[in-house]
Structures are given as structure tokens and as C-alpha cells.
Chains A and B, each alone.
Chain A
Amino acid sequence: MIVTLVTLFIAGSIFLAAFGLGRPIVRGLRVLEEDLLAVTVWSIVVGLILAGTILALMGLLGILHVSYIAILTMMSGFWGAGEVIRDQIQRYERSRDPKTLTVDALDENNESSWPAPSRWLGRVVLALAAVACLGSLLGALAPPTAGDALCYHLELPKQFLAHNALFFHPYHDNATFPLLVEMWYLWALALDGPVAASVIHWGAGILLGLATVLLASPILGRPWAWIAGAVVVLVPGVTNQMTAPLNDVALALLLTLAVAAWWRVVVDQEDRRWLVLAGVAAGGALGTKYIALVFAGAMGATSCWMYWRRPRRRRALLEAAVTISILAVAFGGFWYVRAARHRGNPVYPFAGEIFAQDAPHAKTTLPESKAKLGRSPLAAIQAPWQITMHPERFGGRGHQLGALWLVTLPGLFWTRRLRGLHGLLAVALFYGFFWFLLRQNVRFLFPILPMLALGTVWVWIEMRRLPALPRVLAATAQAGLLLAFALAAVERTTDRAAVALGLESREDYLFRAEPSYPAASIANVMLEPDDHILSQDYRAFYFNCRVTQESVFRRETGYDREITSPSQLSRRLRRAGFTHLLLAENESSRGIQFDPTLSRLAELEPASPALRPTVTLIDYRRGPDCDGVRRRYRLVMLR
């Protein structure tokens, strides 16, 4: 339990330090001092973006030392604590001034033209969201076992820390991705470990809910905006991602804040300084994931539509586009320059048609394998049904969006127009169209969830105009969905409750839940720090020594074509610097299949056992896991 409390303290300190970094910037802009929620959310997020950028710069300078990170965290943390105390004093003074509208007044005041939600409705929805968030916190407090997290979200920061530098790993496809969020994980790894990184992403999920409240407040009024925020954190895919150090929820957070600030200027005609915040958040999003570029396309398309339909807003739209673009490139462009420098392609490994056409790793932008629905107009019509009912075809049930959107949003056909909502829904629609064309994976739809939540809550508000019986029927069905989402978030993490609460050690949990961990634990005991493993599995995080993915190494070198006899395998791989092999096989037909090339080569039997190219250190099977996958792992030493 102490270990868990230490992790929570470290994660809290990171958020406090981020607040300390971001608060002076937010205060300097003087656009949202009255709203405590907005001040808190924006300060933390701006601070996180700034901290990630500072850590990346430290990496470029080769000074990514744990001691430096700890000192900077302490300084920022104490500054953040001072900022909190200062804000509390100012808030107290303001509360004594009847002329000032305080945060409490904002929360209580329903400026909109429709009644606030009844007290019980607000409490029930927020309670369900709290249950879902607590359930996902239990999941986040267990050591991470998500494949992508162990492949690169945590593995790359671990290697950067080990080398004290943001170095280029030529045999890692993700090494030149935008890695801002991974810098946050590096921060957590430096001060605590992978569980703290998970808690950081869980915190990003909470911030996403609060960002939705900020987006919805000027449109629906603050009381209903809380319900919109709760709806977003009840989405099954969001609560699932909040348990693991990935980056889709963080991306959704950054894009939501960027849109919220953009909306303030181009629709609500507020102070232009909001555009600075929008640009910083957009830069953070660009530095998080390539998919932010697609979202930028959707924003651009919506801006063009508004430019044509709203002549009086043209100046604001142009100013917004220019300011946000410049700041976004300033804060997020670094990662694209880095990719271009090392790979010759700023969006490596995508857009292979344009950049590095001859490279073996170049991926096409529109592969058929990433469009399970196809790209026909009929498929577009079917898409909402298919991704709701069969999310396993589009990235997995774990990332699903739930049925609330398919169920509720058709209600917009009979609701009245709400000022500002259609612009946001247009962004969501354009983004959905690009998603349909490019990558049909449900988790890439997370950025539009807050906008869809606004539409959903508007339908709920308008449901007051329905006759009683259909209204009760529809409300009961939707309440059932929300209840199921909250319970699913808790149920999903029941096997992690023991380790989260300190009743099971983290090592015991990993032996039980992470298939690569037994091999990693043996390797960490038996191997030297400078040993180098060539691995068929991409889960490398728990290995202390260096691990290279065999599929990437084979693609880049074609080593397998040079081996014609068993004895050549060891010689060839030793010459490349490898000392051990991690052979992984999926013995079931489900789940990710490992390429069998290396296993086949290692199993070639020479005439004499003494001439075998490898010595097996551990050989075990794991599974079947929750997906029905059974795996075999072998850690072998090259002779």
C-alpha cells in the first residue's frame, strides 16, 4: 500500500509542478481569472506541454539526468504550491467583493435559456462518472501490461533516460514519432516508475472530462456542461485507456482545449488572447500524435465553411488560423523536424508515397488493411452501426466508444438549433470523414467525443419537449447505458484491485499478467547490462538490457536471406551485436501473430547438438489470456 501511496504522491507532485509552470503563463494572458476550473485545467495542461518541451530539449542536450529532473520538479512543485496558496487568497478576497463573479457563482449560475438539470440528475450522472474514474484508477495503479505501452510509450522514455539523451534508435519504428506525452512518462519514470506514468494518463482522462466542461460551458451553461464532462469520462474506451500509459486520451484532452479556446474567439467573439492558449494546446496535440494533423484538417475545413457562411467572422477566423498555426508549429513542430532529419520523412512511417518512396519501411497512407469497412459511400452510412456493434473489427472492444452516440445523436434531427453547437459538430463530422478515409480505428475517434457529448446533452435538454411516455422510455434506456459503462469500468479492473491496493506485490502481478515478464526477470538476473536481445515480441519495457525488434531489424538488413546453414545464424547476429534471442510464438489463431522467421532459423538442427547455435535459458507458455491467446516464450543465448 505504501508503494501505491508513493506513486500517487509522485504523480500528484508532477501535476502540481505542471501547475506551477503553467500558472504564470495563464495569469499573464488574463483571459480566465474568474473561473477556478478553467484556471486549474489550463495551467496544468500548459505546464505539462512546457515541461514536455523542456525535457525534450534536455534530451537533445544530453542532460536527461534523474537528479536534474528531480530538482526541477521540486522547484516547480513548490512554485505550484505557492501559486495555489496565492489563488486561494485572491479567491477569498474576491469572494468578499460582491461586485466580482466568483467561481461558485459561475457554477450555480445557469446563464442559459433552459432550466438547469435537476439536482438528482446531476448527482447521479456525476456519481456514475466518479465510479468509472475510481475503477479506472484501480487499473492505472497496476503495473502496465498494454502492448503499445511496453513497446514504445514507456520503452522509449526508459531508453532515453538510460542514455541521458533523446537519441535516435534506427531499429525502432516509433523512435521518431511525436513523443511529447512520452516525455511526461519519462518524467514519471525518472521519479517513480511505470505505474506513475499510468496515473499521469489517468489524470489526463480526468482533465479531458474537465476540458469538456470548459468547452460546453459557454454553449450549454455550466450545470449541463458538468454532465457533458461526465458523459465523456464514462465512455468505455476512455476509461479503459485511462488505465494504461498510452496517448489517445491525452491527445483528446489537448485537442478539446484547443477547440474550446478557438470557439471562444471565432464564435463567442471573446478576447483574441484565447488564441495563444489554443495555439499552445494545438502544438501539444501536434507533438503527441500524427492524427492531430487530421484534426487540423477538420478544423481547416470547418473554418472554410464558416468563412463562407459567416462573413462577419472572417477576420476572426483568419486571425485564429494564422495564430494557432504559428504557435502549434512552434510548440509541436520540433518532433516533425526530428523525424525528417533522421528518416527523411516528417511523418515517418506514413506518407510513403511522398517521402522516401524507395525505403522498405515506407507505408502507404491509405492501406486497405486499415479500412475494414472499405471506403464506399454505403460503408460510410454503415460506419456508425459497425463501430458501435462490432468495435473488435476496428481496434478492439477495449477502445470502443459505446452505444450512447448512435442511440442519442439522431435526436438532433428534431431538436432546435443551438448557437455554437453546429460548428463543433461540423468539426466532428469532417474529422469522422477523414477518419473513415485514413485509419478506421475507434480510438482515433476520441478527439471528437467531447463535441459529440455536447450534442448528446443538448438532446437530453430537448427531451423535456417530448411527451411523457416516450421520454421516460428513452431516458431509461440511456440511463441503463450509462450504468453499464460505469460498471464495466469497475469490472474491467477487478483483477488489478489487489495489486492496486497493495495486497499483491507488483512483481507477482506481472508474473501473473504480463506474458513477457518471466523472460524479462530471468534476463535481468542473468544478462549483463550491455547484452543485446533480438526479440520477436515487441514488448521490451521490462527488460533492463537493450532489446531490438526482430521484424524491424530483418526488414532493414535482410539478415535472414544470408543464412543458409544453422551455424551462420549465431555468427551473423553476433556480428550485428546481439547476444540473446527472445523467441515468441502465438499458439492460437487469435491475437497478434509473431513472424516465425527467427524461430524457424533458431530451430534448424545441426548434425551435432554441440553445434547448436543457441542455448535455451527459459522456455514457457502463457495463456490463454482474456482474448484467448496462448503464447510460448523462449529466451536463448547465442553461441
Chain B
Amino acid sequence: MIAPLRQTPSEPSEPSRLREAHQFVAQTLLSRRRGRLADGPRVPVWQAWIFAGWVVLMTAFYFCAMLGWL
């Protein structure tokens, strides 16, 4: 009888710490499918608050106008 071949996990071809470093770099750079546009700078805080204020104010005005309060 021919003994079945025993599957043994192959030895990693590179040291595990180096592999972890590779994975770390890859996860950092390639974790999400983002391009140049997705990595854009944060919008300045004052611009963000002006926009948010505008949105909230106009929404409130609109509901008031539709309810006949304006």
C-alpha cells in the first residue's frame, strides 16, 4: 500500500515580520479603492459651518414657507 501523501503547510518564503510589514504598507495604501479625488483636503472649518448653516437655515425657511408662516 502506498501511503497517502501528507500535506504539510509550506514554509513561508519570507520572514513573517517582513510579510506583516508588507501587509501593513499595502493596507495603508490600498485598503480602500480611493483615488486622488477621495483623498482631497478637508474643507476649511469656516466654509463647512457656513455651508451647514445655510442648509439648516434654508430648510427651516422652506418648511415655514410651505406651512404659510413666511
Footprint of B on A, CB under 8 Å?
A: 110, 112-115, 388-390, 397, 402-403, 406-408, 410-411, 414, 416, 418, 462, 464-467, 469-471, 473-474, 477-478, 480-481, 484
Closest to B41 in A: A465
> Could you tell me the distance between the alpha carbons of A464 and B37 in the complex, rounded to whole angstroms?
11
> Could you tell me the distance between the alpha carbons of A410 and B57 in the complex, rounded to whole angstroms?
13
Contact partners of A110 in chain B: CB under 8 A: 33
| Segment 9-60 of B: residues with Cβ below 8 Å from A | 32-38, 40-43, 45, 47-49, 51-52, 54-56, 58-59
> Could you tell me the distance between the alpha carbons of A377 and B32 in the complex, rounded to whole angstroms?
47
> Could you tell me the distance between the alpha carbons of A410 and B49 in the complex, rounded to whole angstroms?
13
15 contacts between A and B (CB under 8 A): A113-B36, A113-B37, A114-B38, A115-B32, A403-B62, A411-B51, A414-B43, A462-B43, A464-B38, A465-B40, A466-B42, A466-B52, A473-B56, A477-B59, A484-B63
Contact partners of A408 in chain B: CB under 8 A: 55
Closest to A388 in B: B62
Contact partners of A477 in chain B: CB under 8 A: 55-56, 59
Please give the distance in Å from A491's CB to the nearest CB on chain B: 12
Closest to A484 in B: B63
Please give the distance in Å from A291's CB to the nearest CB on chain B: 26
Which of B35, B37, B61 is within 8 Å of A389, CB to CB?
A: B61
> Could you tell me the distance between the alpha carbons of A452 and B58 in the complex, rounded to whole angstroms?
17
Which of A115, A416, A470, A478 is within 8 Å of B40, CB to CB?
A: A416
Please give the distance in Å from A487's CB to the nearest CB on chain B: 12
Cβ-based interface call for B2 (8 A) = no
The answer to whether B52 and A471 touch across the interface, beta carbons within 8 angstroms, is yes
> Could you tell me the distance between the alpha carbons of A466 and B54 in the complex, rounded to whole angstroms?
14
> Could you tell me the distance between the alpha carbons of A406 and B37 in the complex, rounded to whole angstroms?
25
The answer to whether A466 and B51 touch across the interface, beta carbons within 8 angstroms, is yes
Cβ-based interface call for B65 (8 A) = yes
Contact partners of B33 in chain A: CB under 8 A: 110, 115
Cβ-based interface call for B5 (8 A) = no
Contact partners of B3 in chain A: CB under 8 A: none
Closest to A418 in B: B37
Given contacts A390-B65, A416-B37, contact A471 B48 (CB under 8 A): yes
> Could you tell me the distance between the alpha carbons of A397 and B66 in the complex, rounded to whole angstroms?
9
Closest to A477 in B: B59
Contact partners of B38 in chain A: CB under 8 A: 113-115, 464
The answer to whether A467 and B62 touch across the interface, beta carbons within 8 angstroms, is no
Size bin of chain B's contact surface: 20 to 34
> Could you tell me the distance between the alpha carbons of A447 and B36 in the complex, rounded to whole angstroms?
32
The answer to whether A480 and B36 touch across the interface, beta carbons within 8 angstroms, is no
Please give the distance in Å from A156's CB to the nearest CB on chain B: 35
Given contacts A414-B47, A467-B45, contact A474 B61 (CB under 8 A): no
The interface residues of chain B, by DSSP majority, are classed as: helix
Given A388-B65, A411-B51, A474-B51, 5 other A-B contacts at CB below 8 A?
A114-B38, A389-B70, A406-B62, A464-B38, A467-B48
Contact partners of A114 in chain B: CB under 8 A: 34-35, 37-38
The answer to whether A403 and B37 touch across the interface, beta carbons within 8 angstroms, is no
Given contacts A113-B38, A114-B34, A114-B35, contact A473 B55 (CB under 8 A): yes
Closest to B56 in A: A477
> Could you tell me the distance between the alpha carbons of A406 and B35 in the complex, rounded to whole angstroms?
30
Contact partners of B51 in chain A: CB under 8 A: 410-411, 414, 466, 470, 474
Contact partners of B34 in chain A: CB under 8 A: 113-115
The answer to whether B48 and A410 touch across the interface, beta carbons within 8 angstroms, is no
Contact partners of A465 in chain B: CB under 8 A: 40-43
> Could you tell me the distance between the alpha carbons of A262 and B42 in the complex, rounded to whole angstroms?
34
The answer to whether A473 and B52 touch across the interface, beta carbons within 8 angstroms, is yes
Closest to B55 in A: A474
The answer to whether B52 and A481 touch across the interface, beta carbons within 8 angstroms, is no
> Could you tell me the distance between the alpha carbons of A157 and B49 in the complex, rounded to whole angstroms?
54
The answer to whether B56 and A389 touch across the interface, beta carbons within 8 angstroms, is no
Please give the distance in Å from A489's CB to the nearest CB on chain B: 14
> Could you tell me the distance between the alpha carbons of A403 and B38 in the complex, rounded to whole angstroms?
28
Closest to B64 in A: A389
Closest to A479 in B: B59
Closest to B65 in A: A389
